[in-house]
């Protein structure tokens, strides 16, 4: 009986020690979206995308560790698409129309809807935002 109690005590110590080593879960702090100029893809990327994808677009933003699935490395989109930048796919994803199976439950915001709200329903401005953001992402492609 003493042996069983001793084994139980040792197992409990290991269980407690293992539990003490768990890292705290990281969370993403949601903040209101602030409008940027629709003419600057770079400003929009910094304001809306860099927190997850990183300033360089490689998927290493400060919020990336808290996501269930790592953000896409946006610098290799052309490489992964046979050398051609997949502009229509990028536009579709930004607008929230594309399939993001890798995101599981879509953690990436639907920017098309947010751009619509920022633009007070002016579709021309929404298109300008999406187009300029897409062009900026294209400029990040690895050479």
Segment 70-80, tens digit of pLDDT: 999 999 999 99
**Helix extents (H) in 46-122:** 50-53, 87-95, 111-118
Biggest CA-to-CA distance, the chain: 79
Query: Which residues lie below 8 Å from residue 21, measured CB to CB, with a gap of 6+?
Result: none
Does a structural domain hold residue 15? no
Report the pLDDT value the prediction gives residue 143, as an integer from 0 to 100. Answer: 83
Residue 45 lies in a domain: yes
8 within a domain of the structure (yes/no): no
**Structural domain tally of the chain?**
1
Q: Quick: pLDDT tens for 2-36.
A: 544 444 444 455 454 555 455 556 665 666 778 89
Residue 10 lies in a domain: no
Q: 29-38, 118-127, 128-137: which has the highest mean pLDDT?
A: 128-137
Overall residue count recorded for the chain in this entry:
143
Residue 93 belongs to what domain range?
A: 27-139
Scanning the structure block, which residue is given the tokens 């698409």? 81
Q: What is the pTM of this model?
A: 0.75
Is residue 70 in some structural domain? yes
pLDDT band at 104 (very low <50, low <70, confident <90, very high): very low
**Least trusted range by pLDDT, from 29-38, 54-63, 96-105, 130-139:** 96-105
The 10s digit of each residue's pLDDT in 48-93 is 999 999 999 999 999 999 888 899 999 999 999 999 999 999 999 9
Whether residue 9 is contained in a domain is answered as no
CA 48 to chain CA centroid, Å, is 10
pLDDT at position 10 is 44
Q: pLDDT value at position 138?
A: 98
5 lies in some domain? no
């Amino acid at each position: 009986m003493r042996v069983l109690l001793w084994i139980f005590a040792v197992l409990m110590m290991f269980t407690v020690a293992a539990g003490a080593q768990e890292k705290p879960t990281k969370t993403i702090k949601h903040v209101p979206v602030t409008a940027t100029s629709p003419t600057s893809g770079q400003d929009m990327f910094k304001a809306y995308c860099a927190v997850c994808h990183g300033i360089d677009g490689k998927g290493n933003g400060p919020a990336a560790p808290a996501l269930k699935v790592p953000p896409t490395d946006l610098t290799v989109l052309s490489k992964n698409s046979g050398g051609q930048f997949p502009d229509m796919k990028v536009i579709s994803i930004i607008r929230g129309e594309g399939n993001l199976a890798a995101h599981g439950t879509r953690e990436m915001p639907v920017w098309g809807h947010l751009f619509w709200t920022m633009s007070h329903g002016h579709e021309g401005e929404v298109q300008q935002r999406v187009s300029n953001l897409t062009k900026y992402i294209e400029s990040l492609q690895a050479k």
